[in-house]
Structure 1
Amino acid sequence: MEQKNTLTKLKNYARKLKQHLFVLYLSYKDNRVHWYAKLVAVCVVAYAFSPIDLIPDFIPIIGYLDDLIIVPLGITLALKLIPSSVIEENREKAEEIRKTGKPKNWLVAVLFILIWILLAFWFGKLIYNIFH
């Protein structure tokens, strides 16, 4: 019974978190939001909506680090930087967008793929230099 309550709490938390992402998505376009808050919001939204994670989920333990720690911290920081009036205005709009589906950010996905390719190239070059 306790496990079911925990699962329900986690699902509610995830739903609330998604709602905040859509609020941030709308808020960073608002002129009343300072540039530094927009920057944080854009980074969080772009990363969260990217179909590819910087740290792939198949890597044990640290693969879920971004989903469990980095994204929630980014959302919290962005929400603290954005005026509460802007957040409240965008909640209803965010609910409508959330119902239509999560947008994908393929630009960030391509960036992450390039980072992994560069890391693989660097690592390969390092190994080659060690053994030759």
Structure 2
Amino acid sequence: MDGWVVVGAVVGGTALLWLLALVALAVARPRGSLLTEAIRLLPDLLRLVSRLARDAALPRRVRVRLWLLVAYLALPIDLVPDFIPVLGYADDAIVVALVLRSVVRGAGPQALERHWPGTPDGLAAVRRLAGLPAAQAGGDQTPNAAG
């Protein structure tokens, strides 16, 4: 009987942690249509994360966060399973947005702009995801051909 209590406590604790993680994602999610844009841009965001993670000029702590993100995205286990329509990819987009905000704090917005593989409109959405204001007039918004 004591074994079942331990199993129940472990299952209950795991379920509670999962629910808390879902609540944290819901609170941290991008507002308005930004989440939809992030899901649409996910392929370009994945290329961006990969390029940033390989950039030796970035601080090590930033690259470690990016590699942990790559591992999270590569693992088949997600907070919300991908087979659930829309929500399955939303958790990935939210986690990417949170890491991008961290990257901007640690490496600056120039790192995003230098490695962005997509369109200027996509870069503007990524800047908003990362918590940055719209690019200043005359700022470089051309996609980077590197990588």
| Short-chain TM bin | 0.3 to 0.5
Higher relative contact order (CA 8 A, sep 6+): 1
More helix by share: 1
